[in-house]
């Protein structure tokens, strides 16, 4: 059943069964629903365990994307296209490639390139994917994304849930457009305000490697090409169709479910991140096998509402008439 109804609330995230309740100074944790779903699915389909495990092909594809993006940046540096062509290239090419690399970082953050026993190799690969994005995000994203899976829907601990100040400030349609434009900034800074954690050594390495690359890229390619790379991140995670998956995945729609999947052509550059219910049910199944999960256990997925257009999701987000600050 495709989701056709608009958002019930613009910035509302479902608390689900995941919440912390303070009673008599005792914190009580109730697990998020995907844990229960995982148990039930494995009880009926134990063969699904065969789908779990890394797939190194993500490394080949991601490195190829990095090389392609840097090659195009070199072309921009040499040929200096006009503003119109440059702008279109930033949106269509750089935005698409950088967002695709961002979802590759997501996949690699689950150690799905080389497996749990080769953590450093996964981290190094994520640093390589991060290079064309200009802003060092790979290692911090992995750290806080773990909290997102563990505390799905919790307004304080799930860093994917917007902060209260975002809910209060961005109510009108024009301000929602501004929020979309600034979404990369909010997405990057939100974890440090909601659930700050100590900086790790790998985050320091990420900063040093990325800073060194940025200086070299600026010096060797020039301002124009450097801006092409940077705008790919700013645009790709902001007013870009692929960024719609950030909204489609966990924002509350009319069906009041916590997680939604997207089934459409953009799953190809997104490394099947659209299979999001499936991903939260089994985070250690790689992008190349997520569709098989749906095929093996259709009774758990075929009846669920889903999205078929990320552009439609973004439009609904802007024009929805109901926006409350409550969660």
DSSP states along 276-323: HHHHHH-TTS-TTTHHHHHHH-GGGTTTS-EES-HHHHHHHHHH-S--
Counting every residue written for the chain, the total comes to 327
DSSP bridge pairs for 306: 2, 261
Is a pLDDT exceeding 60 seen at residue 19? no
* Model confidence pLDDT, tens digit, residues 26-73: 333 445 778 889 999 999 999 999 999 999 999 999 999 999 999 999
Is residue 1 a part of any domain in this protein? Answer: no
Q: Is residue 9 part of a domain?
A: no
- 32 part of a folded domain: yes
Number of separate domains in the chain = 1
Question: How would residue 11 be classed by pLDDT, with cut points 50, 70 and 90?
Answer: very low
Within a domain: residue 56? yes
Range of 147-161, 162-176, 195-209 with top mean pLDDT: 195-209
pLDDT confidence bin for 188, thresholds 50/70/90: confident
Whether residue 246 lies inside any domain: the answer is: yes
> Is residue 311 domain-resident?
yes
Residues 263, 266, 267, 271, Cα dihedral to 10°: -160
Asked whether residue 327 is assigned to any structural domain, the reply reads no
- Residue at 221 is within a domain: yes
Which residue range(s) make up the domain with 208? Answer: 19-319
Higher pLDDT, 326 or 236: 236
Query: Which position has the higher pLDDT, 216 or 178?
Result: 216
What is d(CA 235, CA 204) in angstroms, rounded to the nearest whole number? 26
Q: Which long-range contacts (CB under 8 A, 24 or more apart) does 188-195 make?
A: 188/135, 188/137, 190/159, 190/162, 190/163, 191/140, 191/144, 191/147, 191/159, 193/163, 194/156, 194/157, 194/159, 194/161, 194/163, 195/144, 195/147, 195/156, 195/157, 195/159
């Amino acid at each position: 059943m495709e989701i056709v109804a608009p958002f019930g609330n613009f910035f509302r995230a479902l608390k689900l069964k995941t919440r912390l309740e303070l009673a008599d100074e005792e914190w009580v944790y109730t697990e998020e629903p995907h844990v229960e779903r995982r148990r039930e699915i494995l009880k009926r389909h134990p063969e699904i365990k065969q789908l779990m495990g890394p797939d190194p092909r993500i490394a080949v594809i991601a490195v190829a994307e990095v090389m392609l993006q840097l090659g195009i940046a070199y072309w921009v540096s040499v040929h200096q296209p006009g503003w119109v062509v440059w702008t279109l290239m930033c949106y269509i090419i750089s935005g698409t490639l950088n967002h695709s690399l961002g979802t590759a970082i997501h996949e690699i953050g689950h150690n799905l390139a080389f497996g749990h026993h080769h953590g450093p190799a996964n981290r190094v690969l994520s640093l390589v994917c991060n290079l064309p994005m200009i802003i060092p995000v790979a290692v911090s994203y992995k750290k806080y994304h773990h909290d997102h899976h563990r505390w799905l829907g919790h307004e304080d601990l799930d860093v994917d849930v917007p902060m209260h100040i975002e809910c209060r400030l961005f109510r009108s349609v024009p301000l929602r457009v501004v929020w979309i434009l600034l979404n990369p900034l909010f997405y990057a800074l939100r974890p440090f305000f909601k659930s700050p954690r100590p900086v790790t050594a790998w985050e320091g390495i990420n900063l040093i490697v990325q800073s060194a690359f940025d200086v070299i890229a600026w010096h060797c390619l020039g301002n124009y090409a450097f801006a092409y790379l940077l705008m790919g991140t700013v645009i790709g995670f902001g007013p870009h169709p692929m960024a719609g998956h950030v909204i489609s995945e966990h924002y509350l729609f009319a069906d009041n479910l916590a997680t939604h999947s997207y089934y459409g052509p953009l799953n190809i550059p997104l490394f099947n991140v659209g299979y999001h219910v499936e991903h939260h049910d089994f985070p250690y199944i790689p992008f190349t096998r997520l569709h098989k999960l749906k095929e093996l256990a259709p009774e758990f997925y075929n009846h669920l509402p889903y999205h078929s257009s990320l552009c439609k999701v973004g439009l609904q987000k802007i024009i929805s008439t109901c926006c409350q600050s409550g969660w």
